[in-house]
């Protein structure tokens, strides 16, 4: 993987800047949507189209959208709830820009997000994505510096130098530092019809796969250019020992992504960490099945996990699957989302 820190700044007039399409999938969060939309229309980069894709919210967001009086904004409102991934992919398919960005309806962009991430892409056709670090904020939108530093360290961004990484698949796959929520993607690099609906909320992992497998590069900007909000309904907060069904579905989506990664010979150099990530997700499924008092269903997942990456947590979970339920409820196995 080669790293370069050179790129040309963007010295173009607004009329000659490449069009950037920003999609905002939304559902029943009008207050957060207003903040997200405000952060997009206030971008210092002017050549935008903004697509708000409403997934049949109980309150029609059209009056909110119209209140901005900005002809760059277009609202798409589904007549019925299509699910997260279909709503998001449909919005991507409507884009016309050279570059695309997905802003969750509960997140926000810093004003210079596009101004800093578009120029490297525009000056280098061998780049497919440009991404940055980001803030973690609470439900009220207040920056949590401790959580910000924690997530930066957890995903390796605190150890990543500014510059170009090519190929970028060692970064983009398997829990790396590239966050789609803080990225600008070259639209021509992704066929949105290739993203299988079965990956659900893990669609961002699959988009990384589609872009990374090209062998092209990514540009990293260490500035914190967006705000990722954590609240009770957010993806980051969705893991719960009580909500085992959601946890299982989430991990099954990850397993599906990893299996696609492993089937691609171009990614052979990073197959070992992908195998470990696959095994971790399989163990997570098993642990959640045990918590749901379904130990017999858990064992095949745990046994398969052991064939690829033997871990203490997997062995412990397998042994726990043979313990009577009344004792299992008093025990615990370390688990992360």
Say if residue 199's pLDDT is above 80.
Answer: yes
What share of residues in the chain are helix, strand, coil (percent, to 5)?
45, 20, 35
Q: What is the mean pLDDT of residues 244-270?
A: 92
Q: What is the mean pLDDT of residues 28-42?
A: 97
Domains in the chain (CATH in brackets) are 2-229 (3.90.550.10), 244-328 (no CATH)
Question: What is the secondary structure of 220-279 as a DSSP string?
Answer: EEEEEEEEEE--TTSSTT---SS-HHHHHHHHHHHHHHHHHHHT-GGGGGGHHHHHHHHH
Structure tokens at 255: 């397993």
pLDDT, position 326: 57
Q: What is the mean pLDDT of residues 2-11?
A: 50
pLDDT, position 16: 84
pLDDT, position 237: 45
Band of residue 172 on the pLDDT scale cut at 50, 70, 90: confident
**Which position has the token pair 């907060």?**
237
**Residues 246 and 129 sit within 8 Å (Cβ to Cβ):** no
Could you read off the pLDDT of 293-324 as tens digits, one per residue?
999 999 999 999 999 888 999 999 999 999 87
Could you read off the pLDDT of 111-143 as tens digits, one per residue?
999 999 999 999 999 999 999 999 999 999 999
The residue among 258 and 173 whose pLDDT is bigger is: 258
Structure tokens at 164: 């170009």
58 burial class (0-12, 13-18, 19+ CB within 10 angstroms)? exposed
Task: Give CA–CA dist 168/213, Å, rounded.
Answer: 9
Structure tokens at 171: 């970064």
Q: What is the mean pLDDT of residues 256-282?
A: 92
Could you read off the pLDDT of 140-166 as tens digits, one per residue?
999 999 999 999 999 999 999 999 999
Q: How far is CA 242 from CA 165, 200, 232, in A?
A: 40, 21, 14
**Residues 199 and 74 sit within 8 Å (Cβ to Cβ):** no
**Residues 286 and 299 sit within 8 Å (Cβ to Cβ):** yes
**Residues 118 and 184 sit within 8 Å (Cβ to Cβ):** yes
Q: What is the sign of the dihedral through the CA atoms of 89, 93, 95 and 101?
A: positive
**Which position has the token pair 């163990």?**
283
Closest CA to 2 of 193, 217, 172: 217
Structure tokens at 28: 């029943």
- Whole-number mean pLDDT of the chain? 89
Task: Give CA–CA dist 232/15, Å, rounded.
Answer: 42
Residues paired with residue 2 on neighbouring β-strands, in sequence order: 166
pLDDT, position 329: 54
- Secondary structure (H, E, C), 86-114: HHHHHHHHCCCCCEEEECCCCCEECCCHH
Question: What is the secondary structure of 163-211 as a DSSP string?
Answer: EEEES-HHHHSSS-S--GGGEEEEGGG--GGGS-GGGGGGHHHHHHHHH
pLDDT, position 235: 55
Question: What is the secondary structure of 27-61 as a DSSP string?
Answer: SS-HHHHHHHHHHHHT-S---EEEEEEE---SS--
Task: Give CA–CA dist 207/186, Å, rounded.
Answer: 11
pLDDT, position 239: 46
């Amino acid at each position: 993987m080669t790293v370069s820190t050179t790129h040309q700044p963007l010295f173009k007039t607004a009329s000659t800047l490449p069009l950037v399409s920003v999609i905002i999938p939304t559902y029943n969060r009008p207050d957060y949507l207003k903040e997200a939309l405000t952060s997009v229309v206030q971008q210092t980069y002017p050549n935008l189209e903004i697509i708000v894709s409403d997934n049949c919210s109980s309150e029609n967001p059209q009056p909110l959208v119209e209140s901005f009086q900005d002809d760059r904004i277009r609202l798409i409102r589904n007549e019925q709830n299509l699910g997260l991934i279909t709503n998001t992919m449909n919005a991507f398919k409507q884009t016309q820009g050279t570059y695309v960005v997905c802003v969750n309806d509960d997140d926000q962009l810093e004003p210079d997000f596009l101004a800093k991430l578009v120029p490297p892409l525009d000056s280098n056709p061998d780049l497919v994505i440009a991404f940055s670090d980001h803030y973690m904020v609470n439900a009220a939108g207040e920056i949590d510096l401790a959580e910000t530093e924690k997530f930066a360290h957890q995903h390796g961004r605190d150890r990543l130098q500014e510059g170009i990484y090519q190929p970028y698949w060692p970064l983009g796959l398997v829990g790396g530092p590239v966050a789609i929520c803080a990225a600008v993607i070259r639209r021509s690099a992704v066929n949105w019809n290739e993203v299988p609906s079965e990956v659900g909320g893990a669609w961002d992992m699959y988009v990384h796969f589609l872009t990374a497998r090209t062998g092209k590069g990514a540009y990293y900007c260490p500035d914190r250019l967006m705000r990722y909000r954590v609240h009770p309904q957010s993806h980051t907060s969705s893991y719960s020992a009580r909500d085992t069904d959601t946890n299982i579905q989430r991990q099954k989506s990850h397993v599906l992504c990893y299996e696609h990664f492993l089937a691609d010979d171009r990614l052979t150099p990073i197959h070992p960490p992908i195998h470990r990530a696959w095994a971790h997700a399989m163990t997570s499924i098993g642990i959640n099945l045990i918590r749901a008092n379904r130990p017999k269903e858990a064992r095949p997942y745990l046994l398969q996990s052991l064939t690829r990456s033997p871990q203490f947590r997997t062995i412990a979970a397998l042994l726990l699957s043979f313990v009577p339920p009344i004792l299992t409820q008093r025990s615990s196995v370390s688990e992360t989302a």
